[in-house]
Amino acid sequence: MEQMTCKHYKKCGGCQLDMPYEGQLEYKQKLEQRLLGKFATIEPIIGMYYPYHYRNKVQAAFGYDKRAGKIISGVYQSNSHRIVSVDSCLIEDKKADEIIVTVRGLCKDFKFIPRHVLVKRGFKTNQIMVVIVTDSPIFPAKNNFVKALLGVHPEITTIIHNINPYETNLVLGDRENVLFGKGYIEDELMGLTFRISAKSFYQINPTQTEKLYKTAIEYAGFTGNESALDAYCGTGTIGIIAAKNGAKNVIGVELEKSAVRDAISNAKRNKIDNIYFYSADATDFIIDLAESGKHIDVVMMDPPRAGSTEEFLDAVGTLSPQRVVYVSCNPETLARDLKYFLSKNNYKVEKIQPVDMFPHTAHVETVCLLTQQ
Ligand code: SAH
Atom number, ligand 1, closest to the C-alpha of residue 329: 5
Q: Which of 198, 105, 205 is nearest to 159 (CA)?
A: 198
Mean pLDDT value across residues 358-372? 97
Same domain assignment for residues 159 and 245:
no
Residue 233 Cβ contacting ligand 1 at under 6 Å: yes
pTM for this model (two decimals)? 0.94
Q: Residues 24, 79: one domain? A: no
Same domain flag for 210 and 232: yes
Mutate which of 201, 312, 325 to test ligand 1's pocket (most atoms within 8 Å of Cβ)?
201
CA of 360 to the centre of ligand 1 (A): 24
Domain boundary (189, 219, 254) is at 189
Does ligand 1 have an atom closer than 6 angstroms to the CB of 203? yes
Ligand 1 center from residue 20 Cα (angstroms): 32
End residue of a domain, out of 138, 155, 189: 189
Spell 293-332 as b/e; 16+ CB within 10 A means b: eeebbbbbbbbeeebbbeebbbbbbebebebbbbbbbbbe
CATH value at residue 331: 3.40.50.150
Q: How far is the CA of 267 from the centre of ligand 1 (A)?
A: 17
Please indicate, yes or no, if residue 337 is contained in any of the structural domains. yes
Whether residue 196 lies inside any domain: the answer is no
Residues 110, 231 share a domain: no
Q: What is the pLDDT of residue 2?
A: 61
- Reported as a pLDDT band with limits 50, 70 and 90, residue 1 is low
Q: What is the pLDDT of residues 288-346, one digit of tens each?
A: 999 999 999 999 999 999 999 999 999 999 999 999 999 999 999 999 999 999 999 99
pLDDT tier for residue 78 given thresholds of 50, 70 and 90: confident
197 in ligand 1 pocket by Cβ < 6 Å?
A: no
Residues 38 and 61 in one domain: no
pLDDT bucket at 167, cuts 50 / 70 / 90 = confident
* Residues 40 and 68 occupy one common structural domain: no
Asked if 82 and 123 sit in the same domain, the reply is yes
> What residue's CA is closest to ligand 1, atom 6?
234
Q: Does residue 201's CB lie within 6 angstroms of at least one atom of ligand 1?
A: yes
CATH number at residue 152: 2.40.50.1070
* Shared-domain flag, residues 331 and 368: yes
pLDDT at residue number 4: 73
| Catalytic residue flag (residue 368) | no
Instruction: Please write the tens of the pLDDT for every residue from 18-46.
Output: 899 999 999 999 999 999 999 999 999 99
Report, as an integer, the average pLDDT of 81-98: 93
Mean pLDDT on 203-232: 98
* 3-state SS assignment for residue 233: coil
Give me the pLDDT at residue 13, please: 84
> Is 195 among the domain residues?
no
E-strand stretches of the chain: 57-65, 70-76, 83-85, 116-121, 128-134, 158-163, 175-180, 184-189, 192-197, 226-231, 247-254, 275-279, 298-301, 323-328, 347-355, 365-372
In this structure, are 301 and 159 located in the same domain? no
Residue minimizing CA distance to atom 1 of ligand 1: 233
Domain range for 309 is 9-51+205-372
Same domain, 47 and 72: no
Q: At which of 159, 189, 219 does a domain end?
A: 189
If one counts the domains in the chain, the total is: 2
Rounded to whole angstroms, the Cα distance separating 290 from 256 reads: 22
- Of the pLDDT bands very low, low, confident and very high (cuts 50, 70, 90), residue 14 is confident
Rounded distance from Cα 230 to ligand 1 centre (Å): 10
Report CA torsion sign: 70, 74, 78, 80: positive
> Do residues 245 and 324 share a domain?
yes
Ligand 1 centroid to residue 234 C-alpha, Å: 5
Is residue 253 within 8 A of residue 278, CB to CB? The reply is yes
Do 210 and 151 belong together in one domain? no
Closest residue by CA, ligand 1 atom 3: 234
